[in-house]
Structure formats: C-alpha cells, structure tokens
A and B are shown apart, each in its own frame.
Chain A
Amino acid sequence: MSIEVDMMKKVPVSEQDPKVRATNFDEVCLGYTEEEAMAEATRCLQCKNPKCVEGCPVSINIPGFIEKIKEGDHKAAYEIIGEASSLPAVCGRVCPQETQCEGVCIRGIKGEAVSIGKLERFAADWAGKQGIKPVKKADSKGQKVAVVGAGPSGLTCAGDLAKMGYEVTIFEALHKAGGVLVYGIPEFRLPKDEVVAKEIENVRSLGVEIKTDYIIGRSETIDELIDREGFSAVYIASGAGLPMFMHIPGEQALGVYSANEYLTRANLMKAYREDYDTPINTGKKTVIVGGGNVAMDAARTALRLGSDVTVVYRRSEKELPARAEEVHHAKEEGIKFALLTNPVEILEDEEGFVKGIKVIKMELGEPDESGRRRPVEVKGSEFEIECDTVIMSLGTTPNPLISSTTKGLDTNKRKCIITDEDTGATSREGVYAGGDCATGAATVILAMGAGRKAAKSIDLYLSGK
C-alpha cells in the first residue's frame, strides 16, 4: 500500500472544491478509493468489546466489516453490513456518525475516530458498482404484511420482513419511493439515481412490492388493509408531517417557505433542473431560520440556486443540531451564520413580498428540559437583515391522515403515534409504527432502527399466530 497512515488521523477523503460545488448539485464528498479505504481500515483496533456496535442504532458488526475491507474482501464486508442494514449506501452518507459509532470509537480517545461512515459507504458503493444484490434466504411464509410509507423506516422494515419470508407491500403516497431520501435530502448529499434508486431497487429485488400514488388514510384505511385486503400486520412509517411556523407577523408574506416545501420543490420535483416544470423562486438573499440538518440542506440548496444565504439560529454554534460535517461544509461554501439570533417579524413590501427580517439578539440562560441552555432575548437588541426569501426550518408535526382515520390508534399530545419502545407495537393489535410518525422528526438511521425492531416484533407476532 502506498498510502502512509497516521494512526491518530483519519485518511482524508476527497471532496469537490467548495467554490466549484457551490454552483452545482453534484455530490460534495467523493468517497474513499479502494486504496484509501483499505488504508483507513488498518486503523481499526478490532476491539473485543466494540463500543461502536453499541453506538449504532441498527447494531452493524462494524469491526467485522472493517476487517474484511482491510483484507480486500469487499463483498464479504458488504454482506456483513447487509445483515443489519438495508440501506448502507444511504447510511454511510447521512448518519450522524460523530454522535453514534464514531463518537464512541476507542481510536477517538487520543486521536481521530476510525472513519466508519466513509468505510460503510465504500463497501456499499463498491457492491453497487459490481451489481451485487442482497440475498433472500427464507422460504415464503405466505403471510402478507403492509408497510405504510416508503421512507427509510418503511424500506428497512419491508426489507427485513421480506428476507424472513413475508409477502410485503409498501404503500407510498408520493409518486416516488424513498420518502425523505428523495424529497428532503438534496442530491449533493445523497445522489438520487446512483444511490437512492439503487438501494430501493435492492429492496424490490427481495420481493417487496411498492405501490406509489397510494394514500393510506384516504384511498384505504388501516382497517381496510386488514379486513378487506387480508394483511396480517401493518407497519406505519408515514414520516414527519406538516411544517411548523413561528407565528410571528409576516409569516404569510410572499417568499416565506417551509423548508419542506423548498426542498420538495428542489429535490422531489427537481425544480433546480431546466427540464422539469416545477417552479422555485430563489431570491438574491435568503435567510434560513433553524439549525438542524434540514436547515443546512435548505441553506446549501438556496446557495446552489444562486442566492446569498444566512442561517439564523437562536442558540450558539455548540448547540447547532445539524451534523458537524454539514455545518463545516456549509461554512466552506460561504454560508453565513447569525447565531444567538431569533426572528421577531418578517417585513413585507407594499406588494406583500418579503423585504427583510427583523431579528433580536439572544443570550444563553439556564439549561431547559432538553438539557441545552435556554436562549433569552437581549432587550432592545433588534436589528434587520435584508432578504427576499425566508425559509422556515423549525421541525414538523406528524401527519394526521392515518391517526385521524384509524379507530383505537392512540397518539400523544404532540400527535405522534404511541408505540412500545422495544417492539414498535401500537395500541392496536397487529399494527406497529416507527420513525418520525412515532418519535417526531429525527434521523434516517433512527427511523431505520425502528423499522428493524418492528420487523422482528411483527415476525414474533405472526409466528405465534
């Protein structure tokens, strides 16, 4: 091997130059070459009691697959990952590794953690290029399971159940499968054709049927799936729902979007491409309100559509909920951050279009129930930021379509479906739920973890029937 490895540091990964990538939608991170991956794999200590596996929501055998990459047996590495994850090429790209596997990596105590995410991505991409597909092991059990929603949680649950031998149908409301992977996360972070479509194809190749344009709660209810269509169990993974707003003056002004709308237009409807019809109004100056991954995605999309972008966030940099890598990339690309700042009013011109946003300085006070220090307004510190577009990225509340049409399905005060944490079981027998519709907006990998858990519980439930 020609790459010299500093055991304290990650083997660097190539990225598109920030100046260049700020003007295109191609993927930012180019991923490891085979040589780089094998070099990075030598940094793994092969711990007897691997903390990284505990840190992974789907418990991938991390030392196991890294060992295989080190040996150059990438197919075996891919198969080890496949035992736990149905969407490895996605997870390698979008998981918050720094707070999960890499966050507890022993190598990370003195130096930098092993680049587990990049290695996972390498194994998945390598298998994709070779055309290697996951394998279905079990014989058909002849029982039908319905999955509502073709996002990461639904796809994972469906993939796992299909591998166990169940006949699985996924019902997807949109015209395309993938959920947040296609409507939310942008192309430059997660390529749609090369990565997402391929992973979905892999799930299909296990025998899973995906029905798009099919709205459960409208076209058919959960009860009809069970009583009329003969499904023995249902997994609800309908995802996050309606965007939240701040309820400040001017929020109905023209040029105020939710991040969901902005990203859906750009990603799902491909508004950034000339050959697609969906319009997107991108102004010259955009303000993003919020500090999560979705806010970073919206900010970097607006930047690529030619806007000057400022992120307004009410706490300090340390509390930014976005992945460290996304914040780092956003800064490199030239996105400005107005931290400890909170909007009080959106200013409109005579025509009703956004002309600016009035914000107020904040300071951190005592910790609140989330453990983070509560931001408090600094009296008299209001100032204005000139802009023509405001994108609200404040989170979502669950979609009411299913809970309002399913009798006996309990929800909590935030309208999330109540589930048993260990099994995903809901208040209705044979009906399970997980992902954002149960937890509120969270991450792809947590949604996948819930999908795996539910698949196991559904198998137990149906085996006992």
Chain B
Amino acid sequence: MFKILEAEVLADKTYRMVVEAPNVAHSCEPGQFLIVRCEEESERIALTICDYDREKNTVTIVFQTIGESSYKIAEKKAGDFFEDVVGPLGNPAEYVTEPIEEVRKRHYLLVGGGLGTAPVYPQAKWLKEHGVDVDVIIGTKNKDTLIMEREMIEAVGEDHVFVTTDDGSYKRHGMVTAVIEDLVKNEGRKYDKCVSIGPMIMMKFCVKLTKELGIPTIVSMNPIMVDGTGMCGACRLIVGDEVKFACVDGPEFDGFLVDFDQAMKRMKLYKTEEGRRLLEYQEGNTHKGNCGNK
C-alpha cells in the first residue's frame, strides 16, 4: 500500500498528488513514468512523474480524469492509500546518461502541451540544476486550464517561460508551434535540441515544424499499456519502420521517426469501452436508492 500525502485539484479535471513511494523516488529520473493501481480491482494506469523528493521518499503525480480508472484515482484524498505504485518505468531522458559537458553545450527548448507540462517540469528543473540553458513553452487551451506556470518560472526563470493559450485568454495567443516559430524566426533564439511532450496531435505538428527548422526533437509517447514492464506489447509503436515498445524502448523517441498517425489510431481502441465504464461508474454513484435495480 502506498500513502497519499497531498491531493489537490490543479485545474478542471486535472489533479496533483504527492505519494509515498520509496522504490520510485530513490531512483527515478526525468523522462520516466510510473504505474498506479488504485484498488485491487483496478486497472494498471501509467502516469507521469511530475516531481520527486529522494529524501522524503515521495513522488508527485499529475493526471487528468479520462475514464473510470483515473476518475477513481482522483477520488482519493490525502491520507488514503493506493494499492500499488510501481516504477520508475521507461528510460531516463537521454541527457541524464550523456556526459554533462556535452549536454551543457546545447540550448534546450522544452515544449509542454496541456497535461504534458507536468512531465516537462522535472526535465526543466534537472537541466537548469545541471547548468544547461533551457527555454520552456507551455501551451494550454485557456487561462483556466493552465498548470504549473509558477513552478516552471521558479525552476528556470521568468525570461525562459513562454505561456500560450489557444484562445488568447492569457499571455501569448495560439498554438505552441506559433511560439516556436516566433522564438526562432523573430526573436533570434537558437536551439540545438527540442523535447516535446503533450497530446499526440501537438507533438506531430511540433515535430513537423522543428524538422523544417532543423532542431532534433525528442517526443514522449504515452500509448495504452497493461503491465508497463515489457511483457504485453500493447504499447507498440512504429518508429523508423520498426516495432518499438514505449515501456522498455521509450517512452522518449526521436520525434522525426515516430509514426504519429498509426499511434493516434491505436489510441481509439478502448475509447468506447472506457466511456461506457465511466458512465456506468458515475451513474452508479448517483443511484443510491435500494430499489433493487443496479
């Protein structure tokens, strides 16, 4: 059992929790993820590691409610327990294992879209702490869906964080790609490496642009997973015409090589079933009269 120490709502349908998980906290690195199983009957759900504290043995997760299982996770409060928290899973970001002098020669551009802002945060923090130049773009629907702006500014400095909203309700207006173009073409910033994490459609267009701009780009894939340890093969992707598994070969891949259209297609698989279960779960919740009908 794994104790939840903090639980808060960050934005609509977006939650942040701090969980006691020594096995994950003492060895996780930016780029990796974990799996939560809420109760004995629950699914194994892959979630983003947003922060970690090796001293306190805690990890911070940020997630959105999509289906029944994430909804159940969101219902947990501080003081409650998860049945299982397992990780770290996946490979650390490549710069973690590269010689740091090499990494310091590069200018990094990190792009977080929506919930993708959460896994970008530990990367930004790590790079900054290791003396690497880093700019961060946070893209979100509107002012209300924005998360982690303050933390990001604290991590890398106000001049290095660029927030953009789809509807222009806060700071810059437009998609993250518009900001990348702006920074590179109009503001003369130079980047040697881009890390883009967010909805697949965002990563797809981000990569299209960075390819034109000649900035090698890493993307983080989050396909459907079951065990997350390299057994089931559900998370297979086509990368450079090869079958790769996000859980053990990734989750980060060379964005220029990922077949995003295939990956997006595979995400559809459980939508109907998941939606049906969520409805059943929510309706079931409101049906409390013991009339005998289920």
Give me the interface of A with B, judged by CB distance under 8 Å. 173-175, 183, 212-215, 218-220, 239-243, 245, 247, 251-252, 254-255, 257-258, 260-261, 264-265, 268-270, 275-279, 281, 351-352, 399-401
**B residues 251-267 touching A (CB-CB < 8 Å):** 262, 265-266
Looking at the assembled complex, report how far the CB atom of B95 sits from the nearest CB atom of chain A, in whole angstroms: 18
Q: Say yes or no: B23 contacts A399, CB within 8 Å.
A: no
Q: Say yes or no: A260 contacts B37, CB within 8 Å.
A: no
Q: Which residues of B contact A275 (CB under 8 A)?
A: 41
- Given the interface contacts A252-B266, A277-B277, does A258 sit within 8 Å of B86 by beta carbon? no
Q: Say yes or no: B227 contacts A213, CB within 8 Å.
A: no
**B residues 35-89 touching A (CB-CB < 8 Å):** 37, 41-44, 68-69, 72, 83-89
Nearest A residue to B40 via CB reads: A276
19 residue pairs bridging A and B, Cβ less than 8 Å apart: A173-B86, A175-B37, A183-B227, A213-B84, A218-B87, A243-B232, A252-B236, A252-B262, A252-B266, A264-B227, A264-B232, A269-B43, A269-B226, A275-B41, A277-B68, A277-B69, A278-B43, A399-B230, A401-B248
* Chain B interface main SS type: mixed
Looking at the assembled complex, report how far the CB atom of B88 sits from the nearest CB atom of chain A, in whole angstroms: 5
- Complex Cα spacing A263 to B165, Å: 43
**B residues 221-238 touching A (CB-CB < 8 Å):** 226-227, 229-234, 236, 238
- Complex Cα spacing A270 to B42, Å: 10
What 10 A-B pairs come out closest when comparing CB atoms?
A261-B232, A258-B233, A243-B233, A213-B86, A279-B273, A219-B23, A175-B84, A399-B230, A278-B43, A276-B41
- Complex Cα spacing A175 to B85, Å: 9
Q: Is B270's beta carbon under 8 Å from chain A?
A: yes
Looking at the assembled complex, report how far the CB atom of B198 sits from the nearest CB atom of chain A, in whole angstroms: 22
Q: Which residues of B contact A247 (CB under 8 A)?
A: 243
- Complex Cα spacing A264 to B225, Å: 11
- Given the interface contacts A214-B23, A220-B27, A260-B232, does A281 sit within 8 Å of B273 by beta carbon? yes
Partner of A399, one of B32, B85, B248: B248
- Given the interface contacts A173-B86, A278-B43, A399-B229, does A242 sit within 8 Å of B270 by beta carbon? no
Nearest A residue to B23 via CB reads: A219
Q: Which residues of A contact B273 (CB under 8 A)?
A: 279, 281
Q: Say yes or no: A174 contacts B268, CB within 8 Å.
A: no
Q: Which residues of B contact A351 (CB under 8 A)?
A: 268
Q: Say yes or no: B87 contacts A242, CB within 8 Å.
A: no
Looking at the assembled complex, report how far the CB atom of B34 sits from the nearest CB atom of chain A, in whole angstroms: 10
Q: Is B118's beta carbon under 8 Å from chain A?
A: no
Partner of A254, one of B24, B238, B265: B265
Nearest A residue to B39 via CB reads: A277
Nearest B residue to A351 via CB reads: B268
Looking at the assembled complex, report how far the CB atom of A209 sits from the nearest CB atom of chain B, in whole angstroms: 15
Q: Is B291's beta carbon under 8 Å from chain A?
A: no
- Complex Cα spacing A220 to B233, Å: 23
**B residues 138-163 touching A (CB-CB < 8 Å):** none
- Complex Cα spacing A334 to B44, Å: 33
Q: Which residues of A contact B229 (CB under 8 A)?
A: 173-174, 215, 399, 401
Q: Say yes or no: B89 contacts A215, CB within 8 Å.
A: yes
Looking at the assembled complex, report how far the CB atom of A425 sits from the nearest CB atom of chain B, in whole angstroms: 25
